[in-house]
Amino acid sequence: MTLTAETGTPETDQAPARTTAADSAPRRPSLSPSRAADFKSCPLLYRFRTIDRLPEKKSRAAVRGTLVHAVLEKLYDLPAAERTAAAAQTLVTPAWDELREEPGVAELFGAPEGEQAESLEAWLASAGQLVETYFRLEDPTRIQPHGREELVEVTLPDGLLLRGYVDRLDVAPTGALRVVDYKTGGMPREAFEAKALFQMKFYALVLWRTRGVVAAQLKLLYLKDGDALTYAPDEAELLRFERTLQAIWAAIERAVATGDFRANKSRLCSWCDHQALCPAFGGTPPPFPADAAAAAGWRTTLPLTAATD
Ligand code: SF4
């Protein structure tokens, strides 16, 4: 389906209010696409990230993703006719100047003198290349987003709170929705497409439950390869997906109640910061932080050392 938001009938003045860090703080335990994916791949990793909240190192690849997302978001602040590839490149350095102030970012480029400048330069050039590739996939002068980095959330009838941020949401004058996500990694092989679409179906479910409209298109833009993956969900599929999320959530609640989060070794372990605490690598996890979990609104049957509300 073609959305007229891209084909010459731009909507105006529909950018959402920007969200702040305070806005994004969950009010109670909630499920996001990335945390659901964590639990599916390794329950212990979910625990370390969501309950223990253990710090993790930033990576250059992840920070480059953040930088490219920031540039593409700011690109749409410009008047439509000015959203050129050259204009996008001028946004890279200011976006980096902001990003480098965040904790742990500047340190990524702490190589010995001499190498440092060249390394950073090459890294910024690679970010610029990803931004340039974006223009092979879309013509931003013909798109007027309805939302960018938009928080979408819904509470399902059983109380499960779903929350996530959509990179871009386009709404056609007909009301048709398109959900767009920018990926700075490579396009997944066919076997991994379902995994890639998990996040998009999550957003589609939340939008369906909040707006009553099934998104006409879910679109993943792979900037490394200059390729796109599109998908059109239907209502029956979103209903099934909702049941899948409810099953994941029930498993998470059981794990929190008992403190039993199993390690699940996989090739993802290569990127995990917590191997030293992981039984699969000979480590021992710290005691389950039942007090912190209860304070964050989780139900647990484990004994608490401090009174919580
Ligand atoms: S190292 Fe692997 S098994 Fe252990 S917590 Fe991390 S992802 Fe899970």
pLDDT of residue 4: 33
Structural contact between residues 161 and 153, judged by C-beta atoms closer than 8 angstroms: yes
Axis-axis angle for helices 115-137, 92-99 (nearest 10): 120
CB 89, CB 126: distance < 8 Å: no
How many angstroms does the Cα of residue 269 sit away from the middle of ligand 1? Answer: 5
d(C-alpha 284, C-alpha 280), whole Å: 9
Best residue among 38, 274, 277, 284 to mutate for probing ligand 1, ranked by most atoms within 8 Å of CB = 274
The answer to whether residue 104 sits within a structural domain is yes
199 plus 229 within the same structural domain: yes
Looking at the structure, do residues 88 and 151 belong to the same domain, yes or no?
no
Q: Assess if residue 279 is contained within a domain.
A: no
Last residue of a domain, one of 233, 267, 293: 233
Ligand 1 atom closest to the Cα of residue 48 is 5
* Ligand 1 centroid to residue 1 C-alpha, Å: 41
For the Cβ of 45 lying below 6 angstroms from any atom of ligand 1, the answer is yes
Cβ 264 under 6 angstroms from ligand 1: yes
Identify whether residues 184 and 210 lie together within a single domain: yes
Determine how many CB atoms are found less than 10 A away from the CB of residue 147. Answer: 19
Establish if 271 belongs to a structural domain.
no
Same domain, 157 and 108: no
Q: How far apart are CA 60 and CA 129, in angstroms?
A: 15
Mean pLDDT, range 182-205, rounded to an integer = 88
Domain around 129 = 57-142
CATH number of the structural domain spanning residue 217? 3.90.320.10
Closest residue to atom 2 of ligand 1, CA basis: 269
The predicted structure's pLDDT at residue 238: 98
| DSSP letter, residue 82 | G
Asked whether residue 260 carries a pLDDT value surpassing 80, the answer given is: yes
3-state secondary structure of 206: helix
In a domain, 96, yes or no: yes
Q: Confirm whether 193 is domain-assigned.
A: yes
**Domain count of the fold of the chain:** 2
Report yes or no on 24 lying in a domain.
Answer: no
Cα(43) to ligand 1 centroid in Å equals 9
Residues 23-55 as b or e (16 or more Cβ within 10 Å = b): eeeeeebbbbbebbbbbebbbbbbbbbbbbeee
Establish whether residue 42 lines the binding site of ligand 1, counting it when its CB lies within 6 angstroms of any ligand atom. yes
Ligand 1 site, residue 268, Cβ cutoff 6 A: yes
Q: How many CB atoms lie within 10 A of CB 80?
A: 14
* Ligand 1, atom 5: closest residue by C-alpha: 45
**227 Cα distance to chain centroid:** 19
Dump pLDDT digits (tens) for 200-245: 999 999 999 999 999 999 999 999 999 999 999 999 999 999 999 9
> What is the whole-number distance in angstroms between the Cα of residue 278 and the centre of ligand 1?
6
Pocket test for ligand 1, best of 51, 267, 272 (most atoms within 8 A of CB): 272
Q: What is the pLDDT of residue 6?
A: 33
Percent of the residues in the chain that have a pLDDT greater than 90, as a whole number: 76
Average pLDDT value over all residues in the chain: 88
**Among 95, 125, 142, residue at a domain's last position:** 142
Q: Angle of helix 115-137 relative to helix 60-75, nearest 10 degrees?
A: 50
Ligand 1 centre to CA of 263 (Å) is: 6
**Ligand 1 atom having least distance to the Cα of 45:** 5
Long-range contacts of 69-77 (CB under 8 A, 24+ apart): 69/149, 69/167, 69/182, 70/95, 70/98, 70/99, 71/95, 71/127, 71/131, 72/131, 72/134, 72/167, 72/168, 72/182, 73/148, 73/149, 73/167, 75/140, 76/15, 76/140, 76/143, 76/145, 76/148, 76/168
Q: Is residue 34 part of a domain?
A: no
pLDDT above 50 (res 85): yes
Say whether pLDDT at 255 is over 50: yes
Asked if residue 161 and residue 218 are part of one domain, the reply reads yes
Cα Dmax for the chain: 62
Question: Which ligand 1 atom minimizes the distance to the CA of 278?
Answer: 4
Query: Is residue 32 in some structural domain?
Result: no
